[in-house]
Amino acid sequence: MPLFFEETSWRFWDQSLSAKNRSALESFAADDTLCELVGSGKSEQAVRTWVHDDTVVLGIQDHRLPHIEEGMEVLKAHGFTPIVRNSGGLAVVLDAGVLNISLVLSEKDNAIDIPAGYELMLELVKELFPEADIEAYEIVGSYCPGSYDLSIGGRKFAGISQRRIRRGIAVQVYLCIEGSGSERAEVIREFYEAGLQGEETKFTYPEIKPETMASLSELLGRPITVQEVVLDLHALMGAPAPMPLQPDETEVYGFYLERVVERNRKMLERPLE
């Protein structure tokens, strides 16, 4: 069991099944809610698992593509719903084979710097897959590249991000568990191709090479399911009783949900200048 699970009690909220056919905007609102609750000491630090069907989460820079409408039409043609996230980063794919894990930490008593948050998630993923030689460095050619891309043998299967609100920190990882990592990357490659159409831009968008990405099932050479990993995570935590959102927390959630939905609506209505 990782040291950070041993030192304190954790809240566990599993939405790996219940959120699948709901908007991913609800998950960003849920993490913002947990950030406020955990940061204020109204909740224990939390682990939340979540899965959403066929969604591409765009970043702010993605929305500045010169032909963003055409890019989003490509995503829709592949059966994906595009949304715009309320934090940094670039486009990522969510579907039934991608498990997202959020660690929500508190800075109420002690500051946690950005590298420490990333290292904590890296440690957790290594604990979940102890047989794998997992490395953290930028995988050029992957979608949403960053210094904490997680890879095995040079092929990326996960990326980590952070969001900080009111002394709460949500460290989020997407894990490509099932299916084809390169097929997901091909969708994003086509999105950027349609969104750029060869134009030069101030921001340098990633040149996607689908072969740089794979799922854990592909990399480890055995079938792995999202639900299997959720069960392993729950066991790793010591099998705490699940604690979804409580009635007295729904007002906070409603505030953040309204905010992310409205922001997403405005951004999808008109391109950024």
Q: Which residues participate in catalysis according to the annotation?
A: 144
Please tell me the distance from the alpha carbon of residue 40 to that of residue 201, in angstroms, as a whole number: 41
Residues 6+ apart with CB under 8 A from 258: none
Please tell me the distance from the alpha carbon of residue 149 to that of residue 122, in angstroms, as a whole number: 10
User: And the tokens for 36?
Assistant: 């406020």
Instruction: Give helix 250-269 / helix 25-39 axis angle, nearest 10°.
Output: 140
Which residue from 81, 74, 86 is spatially nearest to 35, judged by alpha carbons? 86
Which residue from 155, 192, 199 is spatially nearest to 74, judged by alpha carbons? 192
